[in-house]
Every structure is written in C-alpha cells, then in structure tokens.
A and B are shown apart, each in its own frame.
Chain A
Amino acid sequence: MVKLRARCLLLGDAAVGKSALSQMFSSDGAHFHKNYSMTTGVELHTKCVNIPETTDSVELYIIDSAGKEIFLEFCEKMWGQPSVVCVLFDLTSQQSFDSCSQWMDRVRAHCRGMQVPGVLVGNKSDLSERREVQTTVAQEWAQSQGLDYQETSAKEMENCEAPFHSVARAFHALYQERRETIRNLHVLA
C-alpha cells in the first residue's frame, strides 16, 4: 500500500470551466456556479484518488490556474514542477481548443525534460447544439500529444471524475515503472 502525491496543473483559456470542474471533482459535486467568477491567481484543491485493483492511492494537488493572459506571469511562478497536467477547452469554442497547443508548450517549459502524463478535456458537453469541436478531432490531437482525452460537463456533473482519475492512474503507472527501474539498477551495478 502506498500513497503517492502528484502536483496536477489545470490549464486552459479563461472561462472554459477549470474552476467549475475542479470544484465539482474535489468537493464531490458541490453547487455548480452559473455565474462566472474569474480566477485571478491560482487555487489549490486536494483530493485523494484510489487506484482500482490496488490498495494504492494518489493524492492530487490540483493547481487551478487563471486562464486570462494578464495573470499568466504570476501564475507560472506558482506552477512549480508538475507531476501531471490537465488541459481544458470549451467544446463550444474552437478558439479555446486552438489555444491548447500553446498551453502544452508552456507546460513543457516547466517539465525540465521529465515525462509528465496528461489529459485533454473538452468541457461543456451539455451545450451540444453549440458544439464547435468534434470528438474525433480533439481525440486525434490529444493522441498526437501523448494525452488521454475526456469530455465533461461540470454543469451536469457528467464524467467530471474521469480526467482526474486518468492522470492519477497514469502517475501511479509511472511510479511503478520507476520502482522497477530502481530495483533493477543494483543488479547492473
């Protein structure tokens, strides 16, 4: 049994629903806020995720970072060394999807060459009649970036846990891989 700890960066353009999603996830479906309240810095949420078929768990330290460009410089100072990353876009905004590659570039600059598992999240799946980004397109791009892909609706509490469970599982797998590597080290040495 082991409890891992992972720093989970939550990024994406302003108003795509980062705060809504992280609040829904970390407080097990608290009230959804219809009114937009812009994040101006970073907010920390923590939540423990159990890894299926093991007695292990991953404590996620979710860093909900402001999407508005003017706060970026300040926020980047708070990102630290990420363990995993969630990049969000709004399924009803092509522009927010196009921004994701820029968000990924920013993350990579913080990873110092380390492998950082991640997930791309298309949020606001409830607004299906206004959808601008098709699932297959998003999925393909995610795959090209080595990211998992999930669609969520923070409003309808639809699939909100999936992105976080995905990165927690990926981090757990990475930990096990590293442990194997280290166990095999002294055989060579």
Chain B
Amino acid sequence: MTSTSLRSLGAKVVLASSSDEAQPPQNIIDGNTDTFWMSTGMFPQEFIIRLAESTGIDLVTIDSYNVKSLKIEKNTLDTFSDFQLVAETEFELTEGQLQSNAISLKGTTASHLRFIITSGYDHVVSVHRVSIQT
C-alpha cells in the first residue's frame, strides 16, 4: 500500500484508554497493519485521533481484530470536548484474520475523531490501522 499514513499527515493519537508499551497507540496511525494497539481488558475502550487541521472526511477505514461494537464521535475544536456521534456500527467476527471495515462519514468536518469500542468478541481487541479518505 502506498497510501499516506495519518501520522505522516501530522495526525496524532492524543488519548488511549489502554496502553501496553509493546503496542503503543501510535501504531494505529502508522499506516502499517503489522503493528497494532491492543486493549488491556474490560470495555468500553477508546482512543482519540487529532488531525493536523479540520478536515472533511468521506470515509474512515479501520483494520482491527475482535472489535464488536464501535461508535465514532468527532468535534471541530482544539480541545477534547463537545464530541458528537457520527457513526455507530457493529463489526463481524473474523477468526484468524483482521477485520477491515469502511465507514462513511459523508464529508463531515472534524479536528478530532474519537473511537469508542463498547464491546468485543474477546476480552481484548486490537486496532491495526485507521485511515481516512478526504
């Protein structure tokens, strides 16, 4: 894949509800599905991505494992407040391979994207890559 990673576009993971030093949250936006962030037990779990600037987003693509229910929220501020729900979805179980799902955000403008994993197919879930189409 030659698509540009979110990180190289200046995005950052600014919050994650779990952290194992071996799988840091920045792995979500490095554009590589071989590296991942993993939750460390219990739900909900969340992470927030700050984009370099307010951006209109058509599509979010998520590569993950064992994620069941996911909510995406966004805001257009510099801070972590006033998030609005923009998508709520359920992923299918894919045993032995990654889940890959694209979610349409219909061009909504966002400066932060917040991903809330409300349940999983197992005790822990992993997120390997989040990418966006503008």
Contact = CB atoms under 8 A, between A and B. Distances in A.
Interface string B13-51: 000001111110000000001101010111100000000
A157 B72 CA distance: 47
Q: Which 6 A-B pairs have the closest CB atoms?
A: A5-B41, A2-B20, A5-B42, A4-B41, A4-B40, A186-B34
Q: How would you classify the secondary structure of chain A's contact residues: helix, strand, loop or mixed? A: mixed
Contacts, number: 61
Given A2-B21, A83-B123, A174-B123, A182 B38 contact: yes
Most A CB within 10 A of own CB, among B19, B34, B123, B124: B123
Nearest to A171: B41
B91 to A, nearest CB: 15
Contacts of A2: 19-22, 40
Interface residues of B, number: 25
Contacts of A58: 41
A182 B121 CA distance: 14
A189 B63 CA distance: 12
Contacts of A188: 96-97
B128 interface: yes
Interface of A: 1-7, 58, 61, 81, 83, 114, 171, 174-175, 178-179, 182, 185-186, 188-189
A25 to B, nearest CB: 19
Contacts of A5: 18, 40-42
B28 to A, nearest CB: 14
A5 B34 CA distance: 25
Given A171-B123, A179-B22, 16 more contacts: A3-B40, A4-B41, A81-B42, A83-B41, A83-B42, A114-B122, A171-B41, A174-B123, A178-B123, A179-B23, A182-B36, A186-B33, A186-B98, A189-B33, A189-B97, A189-B98
Interface in B60-87: 65
A83 to B, nearest CB: 6
A7 B40 CA distance: 12
A185 B96 CA distance: 6
B111 interface: no
A122 to B, nearest CB: 27
A1 B126 CA distance: 18
28 contacts: A1-B21, A2-B19, A3-B40, A5-B18, A5-B40, A5-B41, A6-B41, A6-B42, A7-B41, A58-B41, A81-B119, A174-B123, A175-B40, A175-B41, A175-B124, A178-B38, A178-B123, A178-B124, A179-B20, A179-B22, A182-B36, A182-B38, A182-B126, A185-B65, A185-B98, A186-B128, A188-B96, A189-B98
